[in-house]
Amino acid sequence: MRRQLLAYSSFFVLLTGALAQSGCIALRSQTDRIEQKTKDLEVRVAKLENEIEEEQQRLTTMIDRAHTDVEKLEETLTKATRVLARNSADFGAEMETIKNKLRTVDGALAEIRYDVKEFGKQAEQAAKRVSEVAMAAGLDIAIDESEVPGDERSHFESIKASFAAGRFSEVRALGTVYLERYSQSENADDVHLYVAKSYLEQKRWAKALGTLRRFTDVFPRSEHTPEVLYEMARSFYNLGDCTDARILIEAVQTRHRKSSFATKAKALADDIKKNKSRCTS
């Protein structure tokens, strides 16, 4: 029995030793793994620290470079500001000089404009006076387009009004423009006759005769033909050409015997017989 106990005791000792050895081996293995992991971690940390340090160094370099660039930029801006300020001062001084000159010139121009305006008024008044004197003297003058009515009817009425008022030069001026604008108007022959009669009223027989002759060419079938032929006869008589006057008197009496101008033509013929001394032909 004792031998058995000794045997069991030896077995347990051996088993315990074996287990202890096995546990030591397991613990050592685990410790080794932990140590390896720690070393690996240390290596990784060291690597990260190096990377971080390199990144910090790179960032530091970039910041230093940025500071340098900013300083250079500030210096450049300062110089530019100084130059600009100096140039602006020079420019401002030049502008003040130019402004003063412009004020002087503008003042002179204002005086010129005033003088021109006053001269324009005087010239307009003088032109109006000349026009009035010319019309009174029976001289023909050009008419301002602004004084010509814009429509045919008003234009025609203004010619009649001018004739009634004795503004014969105006009649001719307005009539000339009318015949240029409205040559096909039904009132064109009336206007042409007004122009001729404006000369007759002023006893400008030659001018009247020329206008009347043109009338017969332009308006051969006008209702005013008897009057035109009679006035041509009267113009010839006043010019001393009794022969042509008699021919026209006969034309009125034979072709337009029913016209009131046939009676006037007979009276003119009687006047010619009484005043043969006035005839040159």
Domain residue limits, the chain? 141-278
**pLDDT band with cut points at 50, 70 and 90 for residue 8:** very low
- With beta carbons less than 8 A apart as the criterion, state whether 169 and 199 touch: no
What pLDDT, on a 0 to 100 scale, did the predictor assign at position 145?
76
Closest CA to 244 of 203, 195, 201, 209: 209
Q: At what angle do helices 168-181 and 2-137 cross, to 10 degrees?
A: 130
Predicted confidence at residue 147, as pLDDT, reads 79
| % of the chain exceeding 70 in pLDDT | 49
Closest CA to 249 of 274, 231, 273: 231
* Confidence (pLDDT) at 45: 54
- Quick one: average pLDDT of 33-49? 62
**Is the pLDDT confidence value at 158 over 80?**
yes
Q: Which amino acid is at 145?
A: E
pLDDT digits (tens, 9 = 90+) for 207-251: 999 999 999 999 999 999 999 999 999 999 999 999 999 999 999
Tell me: pLDDT of 99 over 80: no
Residue 46 is predicted with a pLDDT of 58
Inter-residue contact 238 to 205 (CB < 8 Å)? yes
Q: Would the pLDDT of 153 be above 90?
A: yes
Single-letter residue type at 196: A
Superfamily designation of domain 141-278: Tetratricopeptide repeat domain (1.25.40.10)
Contact between 234 and 261 under an 8 Å Cβ cutoff? The reply is no
Q: How confident is the model at residue 183 (pLDDT cuts 50, 70, 90)?
A: very high
SS3 state at 252: helix
Confidence of residue 174 (pLDDT cuts 50, 70, 90): very high
pLDDT of 3 > 60? The answer is: no
Asked if pLDDT for residue 4 goes beyond 50, the answer is no
Compute the average pLDDT of residues 109-129.
Answer: 62
Question: What pLDDT does residue 239 have?
Answer: 95
Q: For 47-88, how does the pLDDT look when each residue is reduced to its tens digit (9 = 90+)?
A: 665 665 666 666 666 666 655 655 555 565 556 556 555 555
